[in-house]
Structure 1
Amino acid sequence: MAYDRYVAICNPLQYETIMHRGACIQMAVSAWIAGILYGVLHSGGTFAITFCSNIIDQFFCEASQILKLACSNMYLVEVGVIILSTFLGLGCFSYIIFTYVLIFRAVLRIPSMHGQKKAISTCLPHLTVISLLILTGIFAYGRPQSYSSSDLNVLSAIIYAIIPPLLNPFIYSMRNKEIKTALLKFSNCGHFCKIIARNVFLQK
Protein backbone atom coordinates (compact mmCIF):
# COMPACT_ATOMS: atom_id res chain seq x y z
CA MET A 1 0.00 0.00 0.00
CA ALA A 2 2.84 2.40 0.76
CA TYR A 3 4.35 1.72 -2.67
CA ASP A 4 0.94 2.16 -4.31
CA ARG A 5 0.49 5.55 -2.62
CA TYR A 6 4.06 6.51 -3.57
CA VAL A 7 3.44 5.78 -7.25
CA ALA A 8 0.03 7.52 -7.18
CA ILE A 9 1.46 10.75 -5.73
CA CYS A 10 5.05 10.87 -6.97
CA ASN A 11 4.49 9.33 -10.44
CA PRO A 12 0.79 9.92 -11.20
CA LEU A 13 1.22 9.88 -15.01
CA GLN A 14 2.88 6.44 -14.87
CA TYR A 15 0.48 4.94 -12.31
CA GLU A 16 -1.45 2.78 -14.78
CA THR A 17 1.80 1.53 -16.30
CA ILE A 18 3.51 0.68 -13.00
CA MET A 19 0.54 -0.51 -10.92
CA HIS A 20 -1.09 -2.69 -13.56
CA ARG A 21 -3.16 -5.76 -12.73
CA GLY A 22 -0.19 -8.14 -12.98
CA ALA A 23 1.88 -6.06 -10.57
CA CYS A 24 -0.96 -5.95 -8.03
CA ILE A 25 -1.45 -9.73 -8.25
CA GLN A 26 2.30 -10.27 -7.89
CA MET A 27 2.46 -8.11 -4.74
CA ALA A 28 -0.61 -9.80 -3.23
CA VAL A 29 0.75 -13.30 -3.92
CA SER A 30 4.14 -12.31 -2.48
CA ALA A 31 2.44 -11.12 0.73
CA TRP A 32 0.43 -14.36 0.95
CA ILE A 33 3.54 -16.53 0.42
CA ALA A 34 5.48 -14.55 3.04
CA GLY A 35 2.58 -14.96 5.49
CA ILE A 36 2.36 -18.71 4.84
CA LEU A 37 6.13 -19.18 5.29
CA TYR A 38 6.01 -17.13 8.49
CA GLY A 39 3.20 -19.31 9.83
CA VAL A 40 5.00 -22.54 8.83
CA LEU A 41 8.21 -21.40 10.58
CA HIS A 42 6.31 -20.61 13.78
CA SER A 43 4.38 -23.89 13.62
CA GLY A 44 7.57 -25.88 13.04
CA GLY A 45 9.33 -24.13 15.90
CA THR A 46 6.36 -24.75 18.18
CA PHE A 47 6.07 -28.47 17.36
CA ALA A 48 9.79 -28.92 18.08
CA ILE A 49 9.37 -27.76 21.68
CA THR A 50 8.66 -30.06 24.64
CA PHE A 51 6.18 -28.47 27.05
CA CYS A 52 5.84 -28.88 30.81
CA SER A 53 2.15 -27.95 30.75
CA ASN A 54 -0.71 -27.60 28.27
CA ILE A 55 -2.43 -24.72 30.09
CA ILE A 56 -1.86 -21.39 28.31
CA ASP A 57 -2.75 -18.12 29.98
CA GLN A 58 -4.20 -16.79 26.74
CA PHE A 59 -7.18 -17.40 24.48
CA PHE A 60 -4.95 -18.49 21.57
CA CYS A 61 -1.49 -20.08 21.24
CA GLU A 62 0.57 -16.91 21.32
CA ALA A 63 4.31 -17.52 20.91
CA SER A 64 5.35 -15.54 23.99
CA GLN A 65 2.95 -17.53 26.19
CA ILE A 66 4.00 -20.86 24.67
CA LEU A 67 7.69 -20.20 25.36
CA LYS A 68 6.91 -19.85 29.09
CA LEU A 69 5.82 -23.53 29.09
CA ALA A 70 8.96 -24.89 27.38
CA CYS A 71 10.90 -27.67 29.16
CA SER A 72 13.74 -28.12 26.65
CA ASN A 73 16.33 -25.99 24.92
CA MET A 74 14.44 -26.41 21.64
CA TYR A 75 12.56 -23.22 22.52
CA LEU A 76 15.64 -21.45 21.14
CA VAL A 77 14.41 -22.42 17.65
CA GLU A 78 11.23 -20.42 18.21
CA VAL A 79 13.24 -17.57 19.71
CA GLY A 80 15.33 -17.52 16.53
CA VAL A 81 12.17 -17.39 14.41
CA ILE A 82 10.86 -14.49 16.51
CA ILE A 83 14.16 -12.60 16.13
CA LEU A 84 14.14 -13.21 12.36
CA SER A 85 10.53 -12.07 12.04
CA THR A 86 11.32 -8.98 14.14
CA PHE A 87 14.11 -7.98 11.74
CA LEU A 88 11.82 -8.57 8.75
CA GLY A 89 9.05 -6.53 10.40
CA LEU A 90 11.46 -3.69 11.15
CA GLY A 91 12.64 -3.82 7.54
CA CYS A 92 9.06 -3.47 6.27
CA PHE A 93 8.39 -0.68 8.77
CA SER A 94 11.54 1.17 7.69
CA TYR A 95 10.47 0.85 4.05
CA ILE A 96 7.05 2.31 4.87
CA ILE A 97 8.63 5.23 6.76
CA PHE A 98 11.10 5.91 3.91
CA THR A 99 8.28 5.76 1.33
CA TYR A 100 6.12 8.21 3.25
CA VAL A 101 9.06 10.59 3.67
CA LEU A 102 9.30 10.69 -0.13
CA ILE A 103 5.51 11.09 -0.40
CA PHE A 104 5.37 14.02 2.03
CA ARG A 105 8.30 15.69 0.27
CA ALA A 106 6.37 15.43 -2.99
CA VAL A 107 3.18 16.71 -1.33
CA LEU A 108 4.96 19.79 0.04
CA ARG A 109 6.03 20.66 -3.50
CA ILE A 110 2.40 20.78 -4.69
CA PRO A 111 1.58 24.51 -5.09
CA SER A 112 -2.12 24.48 -4.18
CA MET A 113 -3.50 23.70 -0.72
CA HIS A 114 -6.39 21.77 -2.30
CA GLY A 115 -3.92 19.54 -4.13
CA GLN A 116 -1.98 18.88 -0.94
CA LYS A 117 -5.15 17.94 0.96
CA LYS A 118 -6.26 15.63 -1.84
CA ALA A 119 -2.86 13.92 -1.92
CA ILE A 120 -2.78 13.48 1.86
CA SER A 121 -6.34 12.14 1.89
CA THR A 122 -5.28 9.27 -0.38
CA CYS A 123 -2.71 8.23 2.25
CA LEU A 124 -4.93 8.58 5.33
CA PRO A 125 -6.58 5.12 5.22
CA HIS A 126 -3.24 3.32 5.02
CA LEU A 127 -1.64 5.57 7.64
CA THR A 128 -4.64 4.98 9.94
CA VAL A 129 -4.37 1.19 9.59
CA ILE A 130 -0.60 1.22 10.18
CA SER A 131 -0.95 3.51 13.22
CA LEU A 132 -3.73 1.33 14.67
CA LEU A 133 -1.63 -1.81 14.24
CA ILE A 134 1.47 -0.23 15.79
CA LEU A 135 -0.39 1.33 18.73
CA THR A 136 -2.25 -1.89 19.58
CA GLY A 137 1.03 -3.83 19.21
CA ILE A 138 2.78 -1.46 21.61
CA PHE A 139 -0.12 -1.83 24.06
CA ALA A 140 0.07 -5.63 23.78
CA TYR A 141 3.84 -6.16 23.91
CA GLY A 142 5.45 -2.90 25.02
CA ARG A 143 3.98 -2.69 28.49
CA PRO A 144 6.30 -3.13 31.53
CA GLN A 145 6.02 -6.53 33.18
CA SER A 146 4.92 -4.83 36.41
CA TYR A 147 1.71 -3.72 34.64
CA SER A 148 1.01 -7.17 33.17
CA SER A 149 -1.73 -9.38 34.54
CA SER A 150 -3.61 -12.37 33.21
CA ASP A 151 -6.76 -10.42 32.36
CA LEU A 152 -4.82 -7.51 30.87
CA ASN A 153 -2.76 -9.89 28.71
CA VAL A 154 -5.93 -11.44 27.30
CA LEU A 155 -7.51 -8.01 26.73
CA SER A 156 -4.41 -6.65 24.98
CA ALA A 157 -4.21 -9.75 22.78
CA ILE A 158 -7.87 -9.31 21.79
CA ILE A 159 -7.26 -5.64 20.95
CA TYR A 160 -4.14 -6.45 18.91
CA ALA A 161 -5.45 -9.55 17.10
CA ILE A 162 -9.08 -8.59 16.44
CA ILE A 163 -9.60 -4.81 16.30
CA PRO A 164 -7.14 -3.85 13.47
CA PRO A 165 -8.36 -6.55 11.02
CA LEU A 166 -11.97 -5.80 11.99
CA LEU A 167 -11.64 -2.07 11.29
CA ASN A 168 -9.59 -2.42 8.07
CA PRO A 169 -12.58 -2.80 5.69
CA PHE A 170 -14.34 0.20 7.27
CA ILE A 171 -11.23 2.40 7.18
CA TYR A 172 -10.41 1.62 3.55
CA SER A 173 -14.03 1.94 2.40
CA MET A 174 -14.52 5.43 3.90
CA ARG A 175 -13.17 6.93 0.66
CA ASN A 176 -15.76 5.03 -1.35
CA LYS A 177 -18.50 7.48 -2.39
CA GLU A 178 -21.22 4.80 -2.35
CA ILE A 179 -20.32 3.84 1.23
CA LYS A 180 -20.36 7.51 2.28
CA THR A 181 -23.77 8.00 0.67
CA ALA A 182 -25.17 4.91 2.38
CA LEU A 183 -23.83 6.01 5.78
CA LEU A 184 -25.24 9.52 5.27
CA LYS A 185 -28.67 8.10 4.40
CA PHE A 186 -28.50 5.81 7.42
CA SER A 187 -27.60 8.68 9.76
CA ASN A 188 -30.36 10.88 8.28
CA CYS A 189 -32.85 8.03 8.67
CA GLY A 190 -31.83 7.62 12.30
CA HIS A 191 -32.31 11.33 12.95
CA PHE A 192 -35.71 11.25 11.17
CA CYS A 193 -36.81 8.23 13.23
CA LYS A 194 -35.85 10.02 16.45
CA ILE A 195 -38.00 13.03 15.49
CA ILE A 196 -40.99 10.77 14.73
CA ALA A 197 -40.56 8.86 17.99
CA ARG A 198 -40.33 12.12 19.98
CA ASN A 199 -43.50 13.50 18.32
CA VAL A 200 -45.39 10.28 19.02
CA PHE A 201 -44.24 10.39 22.65
CA LEU A 202 -45.34 14.04 23.02
CA GLN A 203 -48.76 13.26 21.56
CA LYS A 204 -49.23 10.53 24.12
Structure 2
Amino acid sequence: MAFYSATRHYLMHSTPDLFASAPATREPIADGAWLLRGFVLDRADQLLDTIQRVAAQAPFRHQVTPGGHTMSAAMSSCGTWGWVTDRHGYRYSARDPLTDQPWPAMPELLQQLAVSAAAAGGYEGFEPDACLINRYETGAKMGLHQDKDEDDMDAPIVSVSLGAPIRFLFGGLARTDKAAGWKLEHGDVVVWGGASRLFFHGVAPLGKRAEHPMTGAVRYNLTFRKVRL
Protein backbone atom coordinates (compact mmCIF):
# COMPACT_ATOMS: atom_id res chain seq x y z
CA MET A 1 0.00 0.00 0.00
CA ALA A 2 2.99 2.32 0.49
CA PHE A 3 3.54 2.25 -3.27
CA TYR A 4 0.00 3.40 -4.00
CA SER A 5 0.28 6.18 -1.42
CA ALA A 6 3.54 7.34 -2.94
CA THR A 7 2.06 7.20 -6.45
CA ARG A 8 -1.00 9.16 -5.34
CA HIS A 9 1.23 11.82 -3.72
CA TYR A 10 3.34 12.07 -6.88
CA LEU A 11 0.30 12.46 -9.10
CA MET A 12 -1.19 15.15 -6.90
CA HIS A 13 2.00 17.19 -6.86
CA SER A 14 3.03 16.90 -10.50
CA THR A 15 1.54 17.75 -13.87
CA PRO A 16 -2.25 17.17 -13.92
CA ASP A 17 -1.85 14.72 -16.81
CA LEU A 18 1.22 12.47 -16.90
CA PHE A 19 0.37 11.49 -20.48
CA ALA A 20 -0.23 15.02 -21.78
CA SER A 21 3.03 14.97 -23.77
CA ALA A 22 2.25 11.63 -25.42
CA PRO A 23 2.25 11.56 -29.25
CA ALA A 24 -0.99 12.87 -30.74
CA THR A 25 -0.65 10.82 -33.94
CA ARG A 26 -3.61 8.49 -34.38
CA GLU A 27 -3.97 5.70 -36.92
CA PRO A 28 -7.61 4.89 -37.71
CA ILE A 29 -8.34 1.17 -37.73
CA ALA A 30 -12.15 1.27 -37.94
CA ASP A 31 -15.06 3.64 -37.39
CA GLY A 32 -14.51 4.86 -33.82
CA ALA A 33 -11.28 2.87 -33.34
CA TRP A 34 -7.75 4.29 -33.16
CA LEU A 35 -4.21 3.06 -32.74
CA LEU A 36 -2.09 5.48 -30.68
CA ARG A 37 1.53 4.65 -31.46
CA GLY A 38 3.93 4.93 -28.52
CA PHE A 39 1.35 6.67 -26.35
CA VAL A 40 2.74 5.33 -23.05
CA LEU A 41 6.43 4.95 -23.92
CA ASP A 42 7.55 7.64 -21.50
CA ARG A 43 5.87 5.84 -18.57
CA ALA A 44 6.45 2.24 -19.63
CA ASP A 45 8.91 1.41 -16.85
CA GLN A 46 6.50 2.73 -14.22
CA LEU A 47 3.63 0.80 -15.77
CA LEU A 48 5.58 -2.46 -15.73
CA ASP A 49 6.49 -1.89 -12.10
CA THR A 50 2.85 -1.20 -11.30
CA ILE A 51 1.78 -4.44 -12.99
CA GLN A 52 4.16 -6.44 -10.81
CA ARG A 53 2.87 -4.76 -7.66
CA VAL A 54 -0.73 -5.54 -8.60
CA ALA A 55 0.23 -9.14 -9.37
CA ALA A 56 1.84 -9.48 -5.93
CA GLN A 57 -1.66 -9.04 -4.49
CA ALA A 58 -3.65 -10.77 -7.24
CA PRO A 59 -1.31 -13.35 -8.84
CA PHE A 60 -1.44 -14.15 -12.53
CA ARG A 61 -3.39 -17.32 -13.28
CA HIS A 62 -4.49 -19.32 -16.34
CA GLN A 63 -8.26 -19.31 -16.15
CA VAL A 64 -10.52 -22.05 -17.52
CA THR A 65 -13.37 -21.35 -19.95
CA PRO A 66 -16.88 -22.78 -19.45
CA GLY A 67 -15.97 -25.41 -22.05
CA GLY A 68 -12.98 -26.57 -20.02
CA HIS A 69 -10.26 -24.90 -22.10
CA THR A 70 -7.31 -23.43 -20.19
CA MET A 71 -6.55 -19.99 -21.53
CA SER A 72 -3.00 -19.53 -22.83
CA ALA A 73 -2.68 -15.97 -21.50
CA ALA A 74 -2.23 -15.61 -17.74
CA MET A 75 -4.53 -13.03 -16.14
CA SER A 76 -4.94 -10.72 -13.19
CA SER A 77 -7.17 -7.71 -12.51
CA CYS A 78 -7.38 -4.51 -10.53
CA GLY A 79 -10.16 -2.04 -9.90
CA THR A 80 -13.65 -2.49 -8.53
CA TRP A 81 -14.32 -5.41 -10.86
CA GLY A 82 -12.19 -8.29 -12.15
CA TRP A 83 -13.01 -10.49 -15.12
CA VAL A 84 -13.22 -14.21 -14.40
CA THR A 85 -14.13 -17.37 -16.24
CA ASP A 86 -14.72 -20.91 -15.02
CA ARG A 87 -17.14 -23.80 -15.59
CA HIS A 88 -19.98 -21.48 -14.52
CA GLY A 89 -19.38 -18.91 -17.27
CA TYR A 90 -17.79 -15.57 -18.14
CA ARG A 91 -18.51 -12.72 -15.73
CA TYR A 92 -17.20 -9.86 -13.63
CA SER A 93 -16.63 -10.37 -9.93
CA ALA A 94 -15.92 -7.89 -7.14
CA ARG A 95 -13.70 -10.48 -5.42
CA ASP A 96 -10.68 -12.44 -6.52
CA PRO A 97 -11.76 -16.12 -6.52
CA LEU A 98 -8.21 -17.18 -5.56
CA THR A 99 -8.21 -15.21 -2.32
CA ASP A 100 -11.88 -14.28 -1.78
CA GLN A 101 -10.61 -10.73 -1.27
CA PRO A 102 -11.48 -7.57 -3.24
CA TRP A 103 -9.26 -6.98 -6.24
CA PRO A 104 -6.41 -4.50 -5.71
CA ALA A 105 -7.54 -0.90 -6.12
CA MET A 106 -6.69 0.53 -9.53
CA PRO A 107 -3.51 2.60 -9.10
CA GLU A 108 -3.97 6.24 -10.06
CA LEU A 109 -1.24 5.93 -12.69
CA LEU A 110 -3.35 3.33 -14.52
CA GLN A 111 -6.55 5.30 -14.03
CA GLN A 112 -4.96 8.40 -15.53
CA LEU A 113 -3.50 6.41 -18.43
CA ALA A 114 -6.96 5.07 -19.34
CA VAL A 115 -8.65 8.48 -19.11
CA SER A 116 -5.93 10.20 -21.18
CA ALA A 117 -5.85 7.52 -23.87
CA ALA A 118 -9.63 7.49 -24.17
CA ALA A 119 -9.64 11.27 -24.59
CA ALA A 120 -6.92 11.00 -27.26
CA GLY A 121 -9.22 8.61 -29.10
CA GLY A 122 -12.12 11.05 -28.90
CA TYR A 123 -13.84 9.63 -25.82
CA GLU A 124 -13.87 12.26 -23.11
CA GLY A 125 -15.08 11.49 -19.58
CA PHE A 126 -14.08 7.80 -19.50
CA GLU A 127 -14.34 6.40 -15.95
CA PRO A 128 -12.92 2.87 -15.94
CA ASP A 129 -13.78 0.61 -13.02
CA ALA A 130 -11.93 -2.50 -14.22
CA CYS A 131 -8.47 -3.25 -15.59
CA LEU A 132 -7.83 -6.76 -16.91
CA ILE A 133 -4.10 -7.55 -17.09
CA ASN A 134 -2.98 -10.27 -19.51
CA ARG A 135 0.50 -11.79 -19.64
CA TYR A 136 1.47 -13.46 -22.92
CA GLU A 137 4.43 -15.80 -23.27
CA THR A 138 5.60 -17.55 -26.44
CA GLY A 139 2.64 -19.11 -28.24
CA ALA A 140 -0.04 -17.48 -26.09
CA LYS A 141 -2.94 -15.88 -27.97
CA MET A 142 -6.46 -14.51 -27.58
CA GLY A 143 -9.12 -15.70 -30.00
CA LEU A 144 -11.57 -13.34 -31.65
CA HIS A 145 -14.20 -12.23 -29.14
CA GLN A 146 -16.47 -9.35 -28.19
CA ASP A 147 -16.29 -7.37 -24.95
CA LYS A 148 -19.99 -7.59 -24.13
CA ASP A 149 -20.22 -8.41 -20.41
CA GLU A 150 -20.25 -4.71 -19.47
CA ASP A 151 -23.41 -2.71 -18.64
CA ASP A 152 -22.03 0.48 -20.20
CA MET A 153 -21.72 0.06 -23.97
CA ASP A 154 -21.30 3.81 -24.45
CA ALA A 155 -17.89 3.74 -22.78
CA PRO A 156 -14.86 2.81 -24.93
CA ILE A 157 -12.32 0.05 -24.46
CA VAL A 158 -8.69 1.08 -23.88
CA SER A 159 -6.02 -1.56 -24.55
CA VAL A 160 -2.32 -0.99 -23.74
CA SER A 161 0.61 -3.07 -25.02
CA LEU A 162 3.91 -3.43 -23.16
CA GLY A 163 6.84 -5.68 -23.95
CA ALA A 164 7.17 -8.09 -26.86
CA PRO A 165 5.32 -7.19 -30.09
CA ILE A 166 2.20 -9.04 -31.14
CA ARG A 167 -0.29 -8.96 -34.02
CA PHE A 168 -3.64 -7.40 -33.10
CA LEU A 169 -6.71 -8.57 -35.01
CA PHE A 170 -9.79 -6.36 -35.44
CA GLY A 171 -12.85 -7.59 -37.30
CA GLY A 172 -16.51 -6.56 -37.38
CA LEU A 173 -19.82 -7.20 -35.67
CA ALA A 174 -19.93 -10.83 -36.86
CA ARG A 175 -17.33 -13.44 -35.97
CA THR A 176 -17.14 -14.33 -39.66
CA ASP A 177 -16.21 -10.77 -40.69
CA LYS A 178 -12.66 -10.64 -42.01
CA ALA A 179 -10.26 -9.33 -39.38
CA ALA A 180 -7.47 -6.93 -40.32
CA GLY A 181 -4.15 -7.06 -38.47
CA TRP A 182 -1.83 -4.50 -36.90
CA LYS A 183 1.53 -5.04 -35.25
CA LEU A 184 1.38 -3.71 -31.69
CA GLU A 185 4.68 -2.71 -30.14
CA HIS A 186 5.87 -1.64 -26.72
CA GLY A 187 3.97 1.49 -25.65
CA ASP A 188 1.15 1.31 -28.20
CA VAL A 189 -2.48 1.84 -27.19
CA VAL A 190 -5.68 0.89 -29.03
CA VAL A 191 -8.93 2.71 -28.23
CA TRP A 192 -12.30 1.72 -29.65
CA GLY A 193 -15.94 2.53 -29.03
CA GLY A 194 -19.01 3.92 -30.75
CA ALA A 195 -19.75 2.04 -33.96
CA SER A 196 -16.92 -0.43 -33.34
CA ARG A 197 -17.54 -1.02 -29.60
CA LEU A 198 -18.72 -4.60 -30.17
CA PHE A 199 -16.34 -5.51 -32.98
CA PHE A 200 -14.65 -8.89 -32.65
CA HIS A 201 -10.96 -8.62 -31.78
CA GLY A 202 -8.05 -10.72 -30.50
CA VAL A 203 -4.33 -11.31 -30.92
CA ALA A 204 -2.38 -13.89 -32.92
CA PRO A 205 0.01 -16.19 -31.02
CA LEU A 206 3.07 -14.42 -29.60
CA GLY A 207 5.89 -15.30 -31.95
CA LYS A 208 8.86 -17.47 -31.03
CA ARG A 209 11.27 -14.62 -31.72
CA ALA A 210 9.14 -11.85 -30.21
CA GLU A 211 10.85 -10.12 -27.31
CA HIS A 212 11.63 -6.72 -25.81
CA PRO A 213 14.63 -5.54 -23.72
CA MET A 214 12.40 -4.68 -20.75
CA THR A 215 10.34 -7.90 -20.62
CA GLY A 216 12.15 -10.55 -22.64
CA ALA A 217 9.79 -12.91 -24.48
CA VAL A 218 6.75 -11.60 -22.61
CA ARG A 219 4.01 -9.17 -23.59
CA TYR A 220 1.67 -7.48 -21.11
CA ASN A 221 -1.72 -6.08 -22.01
CA LEU A 222 -3.82 -3.75 -19.89
CA THR A 223 -7.49 -3.55 -20.90
CA PHE A 224 -9.60 -0.85 -19.24
CA ARG A 225 -13.38 -1.03 -19.17
CA LYS A 226 -16.40 0.63 -17.62
CA VAL A 227 -18.33 -2.35 -16.26
CA ARG A 228 -21.24 -0.93 -14.26
CA LEU A 229 -23.40 2.15 -14.87
Superposition TM-score tier, normalisation by shorter sequence: under 0.3
Higher strand residue share:
2
TM-score between the two structures when normalised by the length of structure 2? 0.25
The one of the two structures with greater contact order (alpha-carbon pairs below 8 A, sep at least 6) is: 2
TM-score between the two structures when normalised by the length of structure 1? 0.28
